[in-house]
Amino acid sequence: MIKTDTLIIGAGPVGLFCVHQLGIIGLKCEVVDNLDKIGGQCIELYPDKPIYDIPAVPGCTGEELTNSLIEQIKAFKTKFHLNERVEEIKKVEKKWITKTNKGTEFESSSIIIAAGVGSFEPRKFSTKEIEKYEGKQILYSIKDKTIFKDKTVSIFGGGDSALDWAIELSNTSKVILVHRRDDFRGMQASIDKINKLKEENKIEIYTKYQLEAVQGKEKIESINIKHDDKTIKEIKTDYVLGFFGLIMQLGPIADWGLNLDKKTVPVNTESFETNKEGIFAIGDICSYPGKLKLILSGFHEGALAARGCFKYAKPDEKYRFEFTTSSKAVKNRLGVEE
Amino acid sequence: MAKITYIENNGNSKTIEVSNGFTVMEGAVQNNIPGIDADCGGGMACATCHVYVKEEWFNKLPKKEDGEEDMLDMAFEPNKFSRLSCQLIVSDELDGLIINTPSKQG
């Protein structure tokens, strides 16, 4: 059981700046995120796209913003639990106990949900029969590529993940690449390589096709793919890989007894606390009259939520407002010289 | 101003007047039309505002930019009449536009 003052759910820009705000007022926190890297939507959806409305930063990319925020909280040596999704929370006396899908448990006096539109999950095939094969012969990520050796692998998708794995697996497996249109959108070098492999008959490519049906018993035996012109082709295959990127889903947060308004959590605007005592929501996931889904609004929300956490972490102390410019205590926490 | 008809996957339809300059996605979200999530808020970064445009309207719409076609690869069951509704900007020319929303967005 990891004990900390506040658990932050979500390592996007708003969660990161909230680490800073908790840190300067002397509270400890840890951060959980389902992505494999820090940065949330900024790093997953638009690492290279410019942002022009961060105060005092005329322009930066999602990746640059993330890196700057990480730099700004370096002094707090915050522990990040990546690739983990918070599954359940429960209140035991005055503490919140949080459990992730990997079994990590936290005890904290408050929780700040900075989860954006939810956690990123792989987009799945829409075909009905897929469920019984998912995680076995139908996969959305690869942990152990040796299982594909000497097998037939059908890869769906047209982006870098699909192309990279098609190239990689073509060394040891029979690879069939299926995409819904003629154009691939990966890096040009990968597209060139794919075309070369096709000429050398090392991979098969079917474009303008999508998955239509899956046949098999215990294991997949074959799949049907359907062309735009409605013709259907049957392919014998051992594995089916889908690389359609990630989608955001609210997931278990919906089951925690929090008030929900569509996919957002209503909060008060004094401390951004939810209907549950000690649980706060900031950033895109929170809603209140006048809410703007801007990163800068999330920074403000995090500053107030951090102060809201103080009374739960230190019930016997009175919170005292201080400026980073002049407070010796704050400077010490930030590790900056006088 | 244009009247836009949104038809849900279950057949329910609603016709809304949307002001010029707004997107077809915004018209749906602001009027609580189900079936369009628009998780990224119109940044062409998520493909959860995917719609099917009625055939007779498809070629009358401004053409897709590259980024939109790339994002549509991520959409749920795209077809040749698929568009991202956040990229469809309403003008008088779109009066009468009919779109279908998919059974789900992801």
All domains in chain B, ordered by first residue: 2-100 (3.10.20.30)
So what's the pLDDT on residue A48? 85
Residue A127 banded pLDDT, cuts 50, 70, 90: confident
- As for the ipTM of the complex, it is 0.76
Q: How many angstroms separate the CA atoms of A31 and A15, rounded?
A: 8
Nearest-by-CA chain A residue for B46: A247
Is the model's pLDDT at A337 over the cut of 80?
no
pLDDT digits (tens, 9 = 90+) for B15-45: 999 999 999 999 999 998 989 989 888 888 8
Q: How far is B79 from chain A (nearest CA, A)?
A: 8
All residues of chain B having their beta carbon less than 8 Å from the beta carbon of residue A247 are: 39, 46, 48, 74, 105-106
Q: What is this structure's pTM?
A: 0.83
Residue A338 banded pLDDT, cuts 50, 70, 90: low
* Sequence-separated (6 or more) residues with CB below 8 Å from residue A325: none
CB neighbourhood size of A149 (10 A): 10
Nearest to B82 by CA among A74, A210, A204: A210
How do the residues of chain A divide into helix, strand and coil, expressed in percent and rounded to 5? Answer: 30, 30, 40
Residue A249 banded pLDDT, cuts 50, 70, 90: confident
Is the model's pLDDT at A275 over the cut of 90?
yes
Question: Do A166 and A206 meet the contact criterion of CB atoms below 8 Å apart?
Answer: no
Q: Where are the alpha helices (DSSP H) in chain A?
A: 13-24, 41-44, 62-72, 160-169, 188-199, 295-313, 328-334
**Given the structure tokens 């392919």, which residue do they identify?**
A235
Residue A194 banded pLDDT, cuts 50, 70, 90: very high
pLDDT digits (tens, 9 = 90+) for A18-37: 999 999 999 999 999 999 99
So what's the pLDDT on residue A128? 80
| Contact between chains at B45 and A249 (C-beta distance less than 8 A) | no
A126 — contact with chain B (CB < 8 Å)?
Answer: yes
* Sequence-separated (6 or more) residues with CB below 8 Å from residue B70: A159, A185
pLDDT digits (tens, 9 = 90+) for B40-54: 888 888 899 999 999
Per cent of chain A over pLDDT 70 is 100
β-bridge mates for residue A203, sequence order: A175
A179 — contact with chain B (CB < 8 Å)?
Answer: yes
Q: How many angstroms separate the CA atoms of A62 and A48, rounded?
A: 6
So what's the pLDDT on residue A217? 92
Length of chain B: 106
DSSP A176-217: EEEESSS---S-HHHHHHHHHHHHTTSEEEEESEEEEEEEES
So what's the pLDDT on residue B20? 96
pLDDT digits (tens, 9 = 90+) for A60-111: 999 999 999 999 999 999 999 999 999 999 999 999 999 999 999 999 999 9
β-bridge mates for residue B17, sequence order: B3
Q: How many angstroms separate the CA atoms of B57 and A238, rounded?
A: 42
DSSP tally for chain A: helices H, then strands E: 7, 23
Torsion of CA A254, B7, B77, B95, to 10 degrees: -120
So what's the pLDDT on residue B51? 97
Nearest to A4 by CA among A16, A21, A17, A23: A23
Nearest to B73 by CA among A278, A246, A4: A246
Question: Do A116 and A10 meet the contact criterion of CB atoms below 8 Å apart?
Answer: yes
Average pLDDT score over residue span A276-305: 97
Q: Would you state the structure tokens that stand for residue A332, as one six-digit string?
A: 């010490």
pLDDT digits (tens, 9 = 90+) for B50-97: 999 999 999 999 999 878 998 998 898 899 899 999 999 999 999 999
So what's the pLDDT on residue B67? 85
All residues of chain B having their beta carbon less than 8 Å from the beta carbon of residue A185 are: 69-70, 73
Is the model's pLDDT at A121 over the cut of 90?
no
B/e letters for B5-29, b = 16+ CB within 10 Å, e = fewer, are ebbbeeeeeeebebeeebbbbbbbb
Q: At A266, is the secondary structure helix, strand, or coil? A: strand
So what's the pLDDT on residue A204? 96
Q: What is the 3-state secondary structure (H, E, C) of chain B?
A: CEEEEEECCCCCEEEEEECCCCEHHHHHHHCCCCCCCCCCCCCCCCCCCEEEECHHHHCCCCCCCHHHHHHHCCCCCCCCCEEEHHHCECCHHHCCCEEECCCCCC
Is the model's pLDDT at A168 over the cut of 70?
yes
DSSP A78-131: -EEETT--EEEEEEETTEEEEEETT--EEEESEEEE--TTSEEEE-----GGGG
Q: How many angstroms separate the CA atoms of A230 and A218, rounded?
A: 28
Residues 268-287, chain A, touching B (beta carbon < 8 A): none
Question: Do A221 and A239 meet the contact criterion of CB atoms below 8 Å apart?
Answer: no
Nearest-CB residue to A244 (from B43, B74, B79): B74
So what's the pLDDT on residue A162? 95
Domains annotated for chain A, with CATH where assigned, are: 2-121+247-334 (3.50.50.60), 124-244 (3.50.50.60)
